[in-house]
């Protein structure tokens, strides 16, 4: 533990530590929590989690830290990652694998350059999937939110500003039926956790 931590308070036999950071503008308590068996999304061992409690009151900071400790213990017991995944986190993991497989297929066919399918996925992810779903935690994603995507997507170009429309002069206010079906099927499989 660094000497720069002030007002250190230990809970749960030192597995939960509250402290103030030296030179902090506000006296907000931070926490450092150790739970045996924690892992990240790749299954790698995580030694501790350190973050702000957002509280200046010690009792409130204790309550927040102990709630987080209980949550981390439950996650470790279920072998879940310590950090709740967002759609973007899952997309990055999925896309690394999917892109590699698409590129291997491209090379197996004796073709050079980037596959049109890779370009399609990347454009759709950057333009549609990540702006809508990106920061949403998977645990908090509701059926209504997912269904809301389709309306958001159908009206995307109608809501786009003039600059965006000029940059993509070939846009269609309504997606083509085939592109729409393909995009919808991909998202349904993706959100179901399968890798297409």
- On whether residue 196 sits in a domain, the answer given is no
Could you tell me which residues come within 8 angstroms of residue 49 by beta carbon, excluding any fewer than 6 positions away?
Answer: 31, 32, 33, 38, 68, 72, 82
- Are 69 and 161 found together in one domain? no
Q: Cβ distance 127 to 152 under 8 Å?
A: no
Tokens of 140: 């908090």
In which band, very low, low, confident or very high, does the pLDDT at 4 lie, cut at 50, 70 and 90?
low
pLDDT of residue 139: 81
pLDDT digit string, tens, across residues 25-42: 899 999 999 999 998 877
Domain that holds residue 17: 5-77
Q: Is residue 141 part of a domain?
A: yes
Confidence of residue 191 (pLDDT cuts 50, 70, 90): low
Whole-prediction pTM value? 0.61
Q: How far is CA 142 from CA 43, 47, 53, 139, 145, in A?
A: 26, 32, 27, 8, 5
With cut-offs at 50, 70 and 90, classify the pLDDT of residue 19. very high
Both structure tokens of 147 = 């269904």
Number of domains making up the chain: 2
């Amino acid at each position: 533990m660094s000497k720069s931590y002030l007002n250190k308070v230990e809970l749960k036999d030192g597995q939960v530590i509250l402290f103030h950071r030296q030179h902090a503008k506000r006296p907000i308590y931070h926490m450092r929590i150790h739970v045996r068996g924690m892992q990240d999304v790749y299954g790698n061992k995580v030694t501790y989690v350190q973050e702000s409690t957002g509280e200046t009151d010690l009792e409130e900071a204790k309550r927040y830290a102990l709630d987080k400790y209980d949550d981390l213990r439950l996650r470790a017991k279920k072998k879940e990652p310590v950090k709740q995944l967002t759609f973007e986190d899952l997309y990055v993991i999925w896309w690394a694998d999917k892109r590699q497989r698409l590129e291997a297929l491209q090379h197996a066919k004796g073709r050079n350059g980037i596959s049109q399918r890779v370009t399609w996925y990347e454009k759709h992810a950057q333009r549609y999937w990540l702006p809508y779903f990106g920061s949403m935690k998977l645990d908090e994603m509701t059926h209504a939110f997912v269904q809301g995507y389709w309306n958001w997507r159908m009206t995307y170009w109608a809501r786009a500003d003039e600059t965006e429309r000029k940059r993509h002069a070939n846009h269609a206010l309504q997606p083509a039926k085939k592109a729409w079906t393909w995009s919808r099927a991909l998202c349904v499989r993706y959100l179901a956790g399968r890798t297409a």
